[in-house]
Structure 1
Amino acid sequence: MLSVAIGNYPHTRLLKERLASSKDFTFVEVSPITKAFAQMVRQGTYDISEMALVTFLQAKAYGKPLVLIPAAVAARSQEISLIKLARNDSIKGPADLKGKRIGVRAYSQTTGAWVRGILTENFGIAPEQIRWTTFEDPHVAEYSDPPFATRAKPGSALLDMLRGGELDAIIVGNDKPSDADLADVYPDAEGAGREFSRKHGFVPVNHVIVAKQSLIDTRRDALMAFWDAVKAAWKDTPSAKDLPIGRAAIAPSVRLALDYISAQSMLPRPMTEADVWAGLPDGF
């Protein structure tokens, strides 16, 4: 059986329900699902896995034997992920982040890469003009944080460092806190997200699905069956109706993410869109 590590969302729960009796797939529960990303990249622990988009792009650039199954598991506006203390009047908007201290779980985190790209594109703030603090290693072991990023002391936490005055702002993920002492860095974060979508024509993808390259030759029929099940589950889940699925739909996020992380020196070599899809046959 092929092992599959995917988080629990309405569309993936439907996928798991429909494939529960399959003799081809077994779903492995990993919590949080982000733990599976490094396991997949470094040890090839699973046959199919959810993975952060930037993690996959870096893994592909470093020659990891993975293929991208063109389905977004998660996509969202990125501007809402930047938060500060509500009382911090020195940051009235993202333009004030130049020279500030920002914490992010990992420098290579997909949300962080999107945010840095947006800050450069819209406000002219280069990544090296911010003092970054990270808390975890990259999922791809070959990649190292840049010299202008420092590691927090063991046991430190994003929110604690923000509230303690050691950070000016932080980047959070899906579990955005709603505490009264916190505020968005953007005066209208949701509006900024809508403006990004109007400008670029898509909502940025955070998580995708990847598979071992070897499955193309050894278990192609099973992989195609999985792909068909994914398409059906996404289609039949109302909350997933806006998630891009298929190469053409997901390509805009792939292209801009490539541009952003290339400009951020996060890849070991130049990489084209064709490189991203290398190894995935027609039919996906």
Structure 2
Amino acid sequence: MQNEKTSLKAMFGTYPKTAPLKAGQVASDIVELDIAPVDNAQSAFKDVVRAHLFDVAELAVVTYLLAFDAGHRYRLLPFVMNGNFHHKSLYARADDEFGPRELKGRRVAMRSYSQTTPAWVRGILCDEYGIDMRDVHWWSQQGAHVAEYKDPEWVRGMDKSLSLEEALLAGQVDAIIAGGAIENKDRLRHVIASPLEAARAWSERTGVVPINHVVVVKDELLKTSPRAVAEIYRMLIESRALAGDMPAPASRDLQPFGFDALDASLRKVIDYAFEQQMISKRYSPEELYGDVRNVLEKN
């Protein structure tokens, strides 16, 4: 039937911008989204890059780059689900005084080397503070969501019995990269001084915002149902608008959408992933988008 909707399996985390979509407040005559009951998208990343369970899904941008590099053919939509400044994500003990330029020879731990937040932090350290990747002892607690990926040889595995904060406070490492909330605020400090001001100045100078999670679609869907892909993009934008979550005029949007708005940030995270030996080549955005640009422009 000509008017039959395309039924698609979808996975998005729960945020203000996705709430209208998940509540069925965004109407479509073209697609019907079967949205998985997932609040924390990260918990379903392996279902995306290993089991390929979803036609459209939220995915950490570095996880997406690793998956693309490994041959898992998803295409990128120019829609960022979330982003955040990460100058604040590097912590040391409050009584251990050193700055970001003094990380040479020190031990820095993270949940996973292939996680997006550490990729941004490492890249910023190299770009802004003259750190060489091989000058730091990188410690990782977990492997990657992408099964084919292996950490570079300079990354060391660490004991999972202690949390990152516990390992830091016990003196096992000198610094940690942690994107979430910190429990021991009185005992830890930011390695980069005045991190929010430093992040804003960096973003203003470079035009880059640290994008974390993006939206991807199966390449097969792009080929067989291009109108459905364009409709998904429209629905995501409408859901964000219904949530009252659109950026204020002249403000820097940490969750950009649209090819131009995303370009500088996407190119920078590709550079970082390549320079940190997580992907085998420096992909162009056009390679990641495939035919998405043409499809969105036509529909």
Asked if these proteins are the same fold (TM beyond 0.5), I'd say yes
Residue 184 of structure 1 is matched in structure 2 by: 190
Quote the offset at 1:221 in angstroms.
3.2
Computed over aligned residues only, the root mean square deviation of the Cα atoms, in angstroms, reads 2.0
Which of 78, 82, 88 lines up with 1:74 in the alignment?
Answer: 82
Q: What fraction of aligned residue pairs are identical, expressed as a percent? A: 32
Structure number with bigger Rg: 2
- Helix, strand or coil for the counterpart of 2:223? helix
How much does 1:198 deviate? 1.2
Per the alignment, do residues 13 and 174 of structure 1 end up closer, same or farther by CA in structure 2, a change over 3 Å counting? farther
Q: CA deviation at 1:166?
A: 0.7
Deviation at 1:117, TM superposition (A): 0.9
1:257 corresponds to 2:265 = no
Does residue 177 of structure 2 align to residue 171 of structure 1?
A: yes
| TM-score of the pair, normalised by structure 2 | 0.87
Q: Counterpart amino acid of 1:247? A: F
Q: In 2, are the aligned partners of 1:24 and 1:222 still within 8 Å (CA)?
A: no
Residue 240 of structure 1 and its aligned partner are, at CA, apart by: 4.6
Aligned partner of 2:50 in structure 1 is: 42
Aligned ranges 1:1-284 → 2 under 5 Å: 1-18=7-24, 24-30=32-38, 32-89=40-97, 91=98, 93-177=99-183, 179-241=185-247, 242=253, 243-284=255-296
Structure-2 change in CA distance of 1:221 and 1:271 (3 Å): closer
Could you give the per-residue CA deviations for residues 23-71 of structure 1, whole angstroms, max 9, x where no partner exists? 7112113353212222211110212111111111222222211011110
Instruction: Note closer, same or farther for the CA distance 1:175–1:210 as it changes in structure 2 (3 Å cut).
Output: farther
Could you tell me whether the CA contact under 8 Å between 1:204 and 1:253 is conserved in 2?
Answer: yes
Cα distance in 2 for residues equivalent to 1:127 and 1:274: 28
Q: TM-score, length-normalised on structure 1?
A: 0.92
Deviation of residue 76 (structure 1)?
1.1
3-state SS of 1:194 partner? helix
**Which secondary structure state, in structure 1, belongs to the residue aligned with residue 17 of structure 2?**
helix
Matched to 1:175, the amino acid is A
| 2:284 alignment partner AA | T
Go from structure 1 to structure 2 and tell me whether the alpha carbon gap of 1:279 and 1:155 turns closer, same or farther (over 3 Å shift).
Answer: farther
1:211 counterpart letter in structure 2: V
Q: Deviations over 1:197-224 (max 9, x none)?
A: 1111132111101111111133333332
* CA deviation after TM superposition for structure 1 residue 21, in Å: 7.7
Question: By how many angstroms is 1:178 displaced?
Answer: 6.1
Distance 2:244 2:181 in 1: 21
Alignment length (residue pairs): 282
